[in-house]
Structure 1
């Protein structure tokens, strides 16, 4: 599990990182909100923890920018303040949970586990990127026209759209969609990427999936000829 921790208090960050790593998490540290936004735009996280009071760019501003980019990764806000207004502001900005300092480290870990167990079950049933939309309930991909997808195609397209513009490795995709299934290996990822490419072309989508077999893939806007 990969966590993004945005906390400008170095001593606090060092403690949290040490404990999270001891729990088996991979942790990236951002010393301010601007760094957090940059890391979130380039890296796939299972959960993000943002302190509200940070230099350069505060946690609320950083969270708003992350959400505006279409990132629905669960976010926990940390604040030294206890006023209700701060909690409301954070939740309205797109936070999934919050903790007021000082807090028990065990509670933070429990909330991270709770949010990541939910995964992205609460994402909208319709996702959009460019002029292309995906209805995950109807399993329908639409642009200039529409086409139906299989269950696995829908899951793969959803994963790509949730991480639009980010690089996803073959291993990451395989673990997210086929983990635990017997009789399949990572070569199945390339097969389904090829299926989706054909279907994106069939609906005249403005999206393209870049990448080569066995390597990294990324959903991007198609380059004009």
Structure 2
């Protein structure tokens, strides 16, 4: 594969990532659908060494390797991707961690976030739609003007309970954000969460906040008012 202007090659980086593989870590990650065993702190250290390398990021992504794609999201220039390119990347990003990092580290920081949010929100593919809901949760928290928050609650109430896991998680995130950020809709958001009961029994480690929306909303509001 082609090298970069500073001598890094995709082959060399793939070999470096492969050398960091931990079989036990891969076993844990595979339970969550992520087919890699690279310690993410070590992967981030490689990204720090590389700095921003957009063309290298493209080549790493094209390799199809999950760890390489994670690295690509850290060394790319978010604004350097076109809308159609990002759409194709998301549709090919089936590993949950790659999907998550692509949305959060690349799409959210680029110029096409709003256009893609609207397109993905209505996509029939639940994995793609989940990205639309994550981008919507971001807007709910940071730029809510123009959003139909009551309409979003209607959609959540009608569809979240039976949604596939990843889509359900993203819709739940949006529900919680509406309740946390918008006091006028908090009572309704709490009621929707209680009525649906989604993630009510989710195993939550000690010291962490439950993703169950009523608990999540109440805890975040408590912290802000403390």
Q: Same fold (TM over 0.5)?
A: no
Which structure has more strand as a fraction of its residues? Answer: 1
**TM-score (normalizing by structure 1):** 0.29
Give me the TM-score of the superposition, normalised by structure 2: 0.28
Task: Report which structure shows greater RCO (CA 8 Å, sep ≥6).
Answer: 1
